[in-house]
Amino acid sequence: MRSSRFNPGIGLLALLLVASSLRAGDTTSAEAWLKNYYQHPAPDRFTSAVLELSQSGYFEQPGHVPLAIGFFASVFAQHPERADQWMGVSRVLPLAHQRILASALWYSGHPKGASRLLALARSARPEVRKEIKTLVNSTPDLRAAEVLSVSSLNLQWGAFLATGETAPVRSILAALATNDKAQLSQDVRWSLAQNAVQHPRVLAICRDELSRQPNEIRETLRAVINDSEAHRQPSS
């Protein structure tokens, strides 16, 4: 059985070296818009960026659907008056991509989110319809969503990319204490290391949160901070 206790000196350096080798030039302009949005908000690009992300296959890549939902939900929450205009783009998107936007609208707390999702549920597979109906019967609260899986982890990173706020990173840090889920803890550590290398803002939040975290998190977080500082490259 794999131990859930993390040895900060093993594996983290290798993960950070991989993260620091990632090149911003490998992304499309829409991906760059999404990844740097909190630094350079450009809501006027929303429609064209969604179309580009859809056409480029972005939503088919692992982890990108929940990340996109968290991101779009946060942008919808920032500009609820533009939601109707932005949702207009869904008419030309594949059905699966329409559901991404509708889910984001629901997560944002917009009053039309539930009806949009339920309308799309009519043409979905039975298991998807069941999931959607369960979802709309709950209360949308992205800020309070716990990181219990890789999907909810990516949901919070999407919210961070849209806002640059501390709250999503705090939710992610809390998952470091999930000692009963060793793989999730490893995924959280990796994502923190990767994002702290790529985003100075994440590293700054981690530094600020270090003294506030309980002992079971502090040791791992200190290792992430130290190695991220050593291997961080300037963001593009």
| Residue range 96-140, pLDDT digits in tens | 999 999 999 999 999 999 999 888 887 777 877 888 888 888 888
Q: Is residue 221 in some structural domain?
A: yes
The mean pLDDT value for 24-39 works out to: 83
Q: Is residue 4 in some structural domain?
A: no
- The predicted pLDDT at position 83 comes to 96
Assess contact for 9 and 224: CB atoms under 8 A: no
Q: Is residue 183 in some structural domain?
A: yes
Residue type, 98: Q
Which residues are within 8 A (CB) of 117 and not within 5 positions of it... i.e. 6 or more apart? 99, 102, 103, 105, 106, 132, 135, 136
- The predicted pLDDT at position 16 comes to 46
Q: What are phi and psi of 61, to 5 degrees?
A: -80, 145
Q: Is residue 75 in some structural domain?
A: yes
Domain limits for position 146: 12-231
**Total domain count, the chain:** 1
Assess contact for 161 and 35: CB atoms under 8 A: yes
Instruction: Residue count of the chain, please give it.
Output: 236
Residue 86 token pair: 């932005």
218 pLDDT band, cuts 50/70/90, is very high
- The predicted pLDDT at position 10 comes to 39
- Which segment of 23-27, 30-34, 227-231 scores lowest on mean pLDDT? 23-27
What DSSP assignment string belongs to 24-48?
GGGS-HHHHHHHTTTTS--GGGHHH
- The predicted pLDDT at position 227 comes to 83
pLDDT of residue 216 exceeding 80: yes
pTM, two decimals, is: 0.84
Assess contact for 38 and 122: CB atoms under 8 A: no
CA–CA gap between residue 156 and residue 167 (Å, rounded): 9
> Between the CA atoms of 92, 28, 188 and 43, what dihedral angle is there, to the nearest 10 degrees?
-60
- The predicted pLDDT at position 27 comes to 60
CA–CA gap between residue 157 and residue 138 (Å, rounded): 22
Q: Is residue 109 in some structural domain?
A: yes
| Residue range 186-211, pLDDT digits in tens | 899 999 999 999 999 999 999 999 99
Q: How wide is the angle at C-alpha 221 spanned by C-alphas 182 and 186, nearest 5°? A: 20
Q: Is residue 150 in some structural domain?
A: yes
| Residue range 136-173, pLDDT digits in tens | 888 888 887 899 999 999 999 999 999 999 999 999 99
pLDDT of residue 215 exceeding 70: yes
| Residue range 55-83, pLDDT digits in tens | 999 999 999 999 999 999 999 999 999 99
CA–CA gap between residue 205 and residue 167 (Å, rounded): 10
Question: Which position has the token pair 């006027």?
Answer: 44
- DSSP state, residue 213: S
Answer with the residue of higher pLDDT: 215 or 12.
Answer: 215
Q: Is residue 3 in some structural domain?
A: no
Q: Is residue 236 in some structural domain?
A: no
